[in-house]
A and B are shown apart, each in its own frame.
Chain A
Amino acid sequence: MSNLRQTLYHALLWLISLLFFSPVAWLMLSSFKGRNDILAVPAKLVFTPTLDNYVQLFERNGFLQQLLNSFIMSVAAVIVAVVVSFLAAFCFSRFKPKGTDFLMFLLLSVRMLPGTAVILPVYLMYVAFGWKDSHAALTLFYAMFSIPFSVWILKGFIDGVSLRFDETGLVNGASWWHVIFRVVLPQVRPGLIAAFIFNMIFVWNEFLFDYIIGGRKTANVPVALATGAYADGGVDWAFVSTLSTVYLLPPIIAIYVFQRYLLVGMTFGTVRGEV
């Protein structure tokens, strides 16, 4: 490739990235504007930035609690899910119990169910068991939500770990658990991280279930956003943009830091080229 062609090619790639990012950039920009600047016509690219929106956001009643809820519930749910999934994936990969294919399909079918269809019986069940508005009950539900895809990813990775490692370990007197956690686990780290990040994105942004089976104590940030978007009768655009910006930062940072794992993870452990 000639230099010019390469430069043009790179310029094109950057252009596409920026194009996709532009609405997000506009949102972030709005978070530094006052209400009148947000609604200004013609739109203001040059304005006096203000941090007022951020100050107000963090002083807002309950916001820190909601942020904490989001954080704790999504991290806990995904950790539980990844551990549980790893064990199951190991079983599927190594022992291939009868009906493995069917079970794998059944698990994936969990992810197919429209949330709006599942939420109804889950809601009634939570009411009957007295689980509504409980952090643990919501977290475990999210874990369930994250299990199917994690099993699929991790099975791919464990399949890629040669059986010889297991055999060597067992022959040398190690227990199965040693093999599982000390021999196989370290080798599928990219898969674990990928499963973690991928499910994290979904749980982090989950709205419907928190809204219906959560409550005052367990409200997460998307719920806070949906309910708090209005102030004094109007849409509080400053709040919407500021909150979204703050909430977007952790996943963006995660994507930046773990980008490679995300790409490798999606190959289901079959990476043979460049990602």
Chain B
Amino acid sequence: MTSKLDFMTSSSGLSRRHVLKGAAAAASVAGFGGLSRLALADSPLKGESLHLSILGIAGWVPSSLGVKMSPIFAEYAKQKYGYDVDFSFADAPFSALFQKAATSLATRSQEYNIIISDSQWLGAFAKPKWVVKIDDLLKEQPGLTPEWYSPVISATYQTYPDGSQQLWGLPQEGDVVALYVRKDMLEDPAEKEAFKKKYNKDLPQTFDDFAELTMAEFEKVAEFFTRPDKNLYGTAMQYSREYDFISCFLYPFMWSRGGEIWDPKTAQVHGILNSKVNAEALEQMKHWLKYMPDGALNYGIAEEIDVFTQGKVFSCFQWAAVGPAMIPDALKGKVMVVPPPKHGNGSDAKRVYTFGGQSWVINAFNDENNMQATIDFMRWWYQPDVQLEYAKRGGNPCDKATLSRSDFDDMQPWFRTYKYMLAEGRSRDFWHHPKYAEMLSVQQEAFTSFMTGQTSDPMKVLDYVACKQQSILFEAGTAKEKAPDTCASISL
């Protein structure tokens, strides 16, 4: 009833509501004066009581931060716009989030009004038009989003198809691969001396030391700390078949050595992925297993956190996003987060690691009220003080204002590395294609099959993946070329 009354009394609201038809049109809340003093009177939702539901990634710090901060928005909305809003949350693990969202969105349901999506899912959400097209929204809502820290932010968290101007998501959490190292072990005088004696070199000590470090040099450090009799190992990476785990940690080996995974323009995979460089990358990654605990072949995000926080490894290649979990109270001050090493030698040495991170995507089937509240939420989310609060709680913001603050680097142990790895060229994302799941599943199977010895020839593994992905992309109508005939008989 309240909504009807409101509807009748506010003539501006009336005209607005007529405009709002369907999802795309909902974006056209013309001239919404969220920032003006008159905002309170102007909000079409004034006096309403709303309920929003967010679907996020289970057990993922940044997702739960978004959730934990929502009561602040509720208060803000009450004061500024004069409506009540409360939130409910659902979550699913990485590998299941899209299916949870997709099975619901396919019913045109509003079960989840806002979804936190891994960046690679953008295509799969966008193609069936399940989510709001953000560039249309931005035309109607200028100033909704702030200036991003770097152009890669938009390319990674917003754009589908790759290289186009179409935006489908809003950056929620920026994320990069970082190297977590045990500072207390590095600074131990006995260790320093022993290392010097053994390798005639100094143990790297500072952020800058690590920024210059190559994999070959880091290998010595990892070897040095590998002491199976003491149940301590040099490092850990992710080799698990689950979701994208092994892929994200194999790509740096490929990209940093000059390998490519596809040509985004022609969607050509065959002949590009199955290259000699990439075969070497596979072998290199397998080689590193000897500095890791026995279970490393099964490591994903969670397992790495377990071994690192329980002191079983000296270092860990891990997402910056799980900083709060990697550095619990017991390890505060004992951990340093640094850029992961470069690949190659001398001046040719390069580091190109993988982007992680998630976007907000907005359910296109939200009704007018929910859509309005969602837009209010987004506008609030990107305010500098909210982003600052997010950063202080351990989230990785993407806006220029927050990242450019002079105190940003020291706000969290991993922030300096996060910012460093955000710089153009140091991190990359991979396909934002609707066929993401299928392409990923093929290579997760093939890569783990190589790492665990089920298949021994790296080239065969890459040929297999290239053939399968080429034909997936061709069938989807994206790739121009068919998989070559040699693919017909290929198997792992």
Spell out A's residues near B (CB within 8 Å). Answer: 36, 39, 41, 61, 123, 127, 130, 132-133, 211-212, 215-216, 219, 226-236
Give the interface segment out of B21-29, B56-64, B434-442, B465-473.
B56-64
B103 at the interface (CB under 8 A from A): yes
A127 to B309, CA, bound (A): 44
Interface pair B90/A216, CB less than 8 Å apart: yes
A211 to B92 CA separation, bound complex (whole angstroms)? 10
Contacts of A231 in B (CB 8 A): 59
In the complex, what distance in Å separates the CA atom of A215 from the CA atom of B104? 8
Shortest beta-carbon distance, B313 to chain A, in Å?
Answer: 13
Is B93 an interface position by the 8 A CB rule?
Answer: yes
- Checking B61, B88, B99, B231 against A233 with a beta-carbon cut-off of 8 angstroms, the contacting residue is B61
7 contacts between A and B (CB under 8 A): A39-B306, A41-B231, A123-B103, A216-B111, A233-B61, A233-B326, A234-B309
Given the known inter-chain contacts A39-B306, A41-B231, please indicate yes or no for A232 contacting B92, CB distance below 8 A: no
Partner of A234, one of B59, B88, B93, B106: B59
In the complex, whether B325 has a CB less than 8 A from a CB of chain A is yes
Contact of B88 among A39, A212, A216 (CB under 8 A): A216
With A41-B231, A216-B53, A216-B88 already in contact, the answer to whether A230 and B111 are too (CB < 8 A) is no
Residues of A within 8 A of B112 (CB): 216
- A133 near B111 with CB under 8 A, answer yes
Task: Report yes or no: B59 in contact with A236, Cβ–Cβ below 8 A.
Answer: yes
In angstroms, Cα B306 to Cα A78, docked, is: 41
Given the contacts A127-B107, A132-B107, A133-B111, A234 and B58 also touching, CB distance less than 8 Å: no
Closest beta carbon of chain B to A64's beta carbon, Å: 15
Q: Which residues of B contact A226 (CB under 8 A)?
A: 93, 96
Complex contacts, A233 vs chain B, CB 8 Å: 59-61, 301-302, 305, 319, 321-322, 325-326
The 3 closest A-B pairs by CB, nearest first: A230-B59, A233-B322, A234-B305
Quick check: is B284 within 8 A (CB to CB) of the other chain?
Answer: no
Which residue in chain A gives the minimum CB-CB distance to B322? A233
- Mark B91-112 against chain A: 1 for CB-CB distance below 8 A, else 0: 1110010011001101101011
Other A-B pairs, 13, CB within 8 Å; known A226-B93, A228-B59: A39-B306, A211-B96, A212-B99, A216-B53, A219-B90, A227-B91, A230-B59, A232-B59, A232-B322, A233-B60, A233-B302, A233-B305, A233-B326
**Nearest opposing residue in chain B for A127, CB measure:** B107
Name the one of B310, B319, B322 contacting A39, with C-beta atoms under 8 angstroms.
B310
In angstroms, Cα B319 to Cα A234, docked, is: 12
Which residues of A have CB within 8 Å of B100?
A: 211
Tell me which residues across on chain A come within 8 A of B53, comparing CB atoms: 216
Does chain A have a CB within 8 A of B89? yes
Q: Does B264 count as interface, using CB distance less than 8 angstroms?
A: no
- Given A227-B58, A227-B96: A235 in contact with B302 (beta carbons within 8 A): yes
Q: How far is the CA of A36 from the CA of B329 in the complex (A)?
A: 13
- CB nearest to B57 among chain A residues: A230
A232 CA / B92 CA spacing, docked (Å): 13
B324 within 8 A of A: yes
**Contact A227 to B89, CB < 8 A, known contacts A133-B111, A232-B59:** no
Interface size on B, residues (CB 8 A): 36
Residues of A within 8 A of B103 (CB): 123, 132, 212
Interface residues of B in 282-316 (CB under 8 A from A): 301-303, 305-306, 309-310
Task: Among B58, B64, B99, B319, point to the contact of A229 (Cβ < 8 A).
Answer: B58
The residue in A41, A127, A231, A232 that gathers the most chain B C-beta atoms within 10 A of its C-beta is A232
Task: List B contacts of A228 (CB < 8 A).
Answer: 58-59, 91
Q: What residues on B are CB-neighbors of A235 within 8 Å?
A: 302-303, 306
Q: Which residues from A are CB-within-8-Å of B310?
A: 36, 39, 41
The residue from A130, A227, A236 contacting B92, defined by CB atoms under 8 A apart = A227
The CA of A103 and the CA of B342, in the complex, are separated in Å by 68
Task: Provide the bound-state CA to CA distance between A133 and B100, in Å.
Answer: 12
Residues of B68-126 at the interface with A, using a CB-CB cut-off of 8 Å, are: 88-93, 96, 99-100, 103-104, 106-107, 109, 111-112
Interchain CA distance A235-B242 in the complex, whole Å: 14
| Bound CA–CA A231/B324 (angstroms) | 11
Identity of the chain B residue whose Cβ is nearest the Cβ of A40 in the assembled complex: B310
CA–CA, A211 to B100, complex, Å? 8
Nearest-CB residue, chain A, relative to B55: A216
Shortest Cβ distance from residue A70 to the other chain B in the assembled complex, whole angstroms: 17
CA distance A127 to B109 in the complex (A): 10
Question: Would A61 and B59 be within 8 Å (CB), given that A39-B310, A132-B107 are in contact?
Answer: no
Q: Which of A123, A211, A215, A234 contacts B325, CB < 8 Å?
A: A234
- How distant is A232 from chain B, measured CB to nearest CB, in Å? 4
B306:A234 contact, CB within 8 angstroms: yes
Query: Is B111 within 8 A of A215, CB to CB?
Result: yes
List residues of chain B with CB within 8 A of the CB of A39.
306, 310
Q: Which residue of A lies closest to B307 (CB)?
A: A39
How far is it, in angstroms, between the C-alpha of A162 and the C-alpha of B88 when the chains are bound? Answer: 57
Chain B contacts for A61, CB-based, 8 A = 89
- Cα separation A234 to B322 with both chains bound (whole Å): 9
Among A41, A130, A232, A233, residue most surrounded by chain B Cβ atoms (within 10 Å)? A233
**Is there contact, CB below 8 Å, between B302 and A230?**
yes
- Cβ of A211: which chain B residues have Cβ within 8 Å of it? 96, 100
CB distance from A235 to the nearest CB of B (A): 5
* Bound complex: CA A212 to CA B107 (Å): 12
Q: Please name all residues of chain B whose beta carbon is closer than 8 Å to the beta carbon of A216 when the two chains form the complex.
A: 53, 88, 90, 111-112
Residues of A contacting B107 in the complex (Cβ-Cβ under 8 angstroms): 127, 130, 132
B272 vs chain A, min Cβ distance (A): 33
Alpha-carbon separation in the docked complex, A127 to B310 (Å): 46
Min Cβ gap B270→A in Å is 31
Chain B residues in 8 Å Cβ range of A215:
104, 109, 111
Can you name the residue of chain A whose Cβ is closest to the Cβ of B312? Answer: A41
